[in-house]
Amino acid sequence: MEPTLLLFVILFASFTQGVAGFGLGLVAMPFIIEPLGVQPSTSLIALIALICRIVLIIVYRESINVKVVTRLTIASILALPIGVLVLQRLDSVLVLALLGMVVSGYALYALLNLRLPAVAHPRWAYGFGFVSGLLSGAYNTGGPPIVMYGTSRRWGPAEFKSNIQGLGLFNSIVVIALHFVAHDYTPDVWQHFWVTLPAVLLGLLLGIGAARYINPMLFRRLILLMLLVVGLTLIF
């Protein structure tokens, strides 16, 4: 993959994360998974996600709901090893198709404004957290289930962003540890990480600043349309 293209993808994905509070893996993975390979891509995005989440937790720390994050995290951590194992066992073509289904499926769900009914019981967090852990372990795309859960619980914008980062921080640490055990952090992965780190920080900080001025609904719809096209391309 051309270094310039990789930098642009990571810059834009980090910008999206800064604006919306999630989306790093959803935006970056479809573009880098074929040229870099499945394992290098997931390993790289896990490292980048850790940096993004640390920064965002600092920014939104006052709005985090510790009880909610704890429930989501417990279930998610149980599912993470399963997701990583699935990634290692499946054929790369099937992995790409499944990733495309996740990305395009979420894009359609969000574009059609399908709203889940309000979830009253907090124990639903365990189910959504488990699915998020599976997707995080396999593709670093654990955001959609948490977005759906947050929507059904009617979280406000600040609580939404802070809770996602709280869960994502623990997910990133566990995913990185699992990739270390699997010896996925090769010299090439570390080189990609250090090369893209300035783009990560720049995109993230620009996104955090721009979130105050960008029309969030317009930005969200543009991203979702892009994800829909990319997801369908991966499937077909």
pLDDT in tens, 59-115: 888 888 888 888 888 999 898 888 888 777 777 677 778 778 877 887 888 788 776
Three-state SS at 37: coil
Query: Per-residue pLDDT for the chain (236 aa), expressed as one digit of tens each?
Result: 788 899 999 999 999 899 888 789 888 988 898 899 888 999 999 999 999 999 999 988 888 888 888 888 899 989 888 888 877 777 767 777 877 887 788 788 878 877 666 766 778 889 888 988 888 887 777 777 887 788 777 777 778 788 888 888 888 898 899 889 889 999 999 999 999 999 999 999 999 998 888 776 777 677 778 778 877 877 87
CA distance 132 to 147: 10
Q: Where are the domains of the chain?
A: 3-235
Contact 48, 102 (CB under 8 A): no
Closest among 132, 131, 138, 144 to 39, alpha carbons compared: 138
CA distance 137 to 135: 5
CA distance 37 to 199: 21
How do the residues of the chain divide into helix, strand and coil, expressed in percent and rounded to 5?
85, 0, 15
Q: What angle do CA 92, 2, 91 make, to 5 degrees?
A: 0
Q: Which residues are CB-contacts of 163 (< 8 A; sequence separation ≥ 6)?
A: 63, 64, 65, 68, 69, 72, 146, 150, 155
Residue 161 corresponds to which tokens in the numbers above?
């962003």
Contact 175, 73 (CB under 8 A): no
Which residue has 């889940």 as its token pair? 116
Contact 24, 13 (CB under 8 A): yes
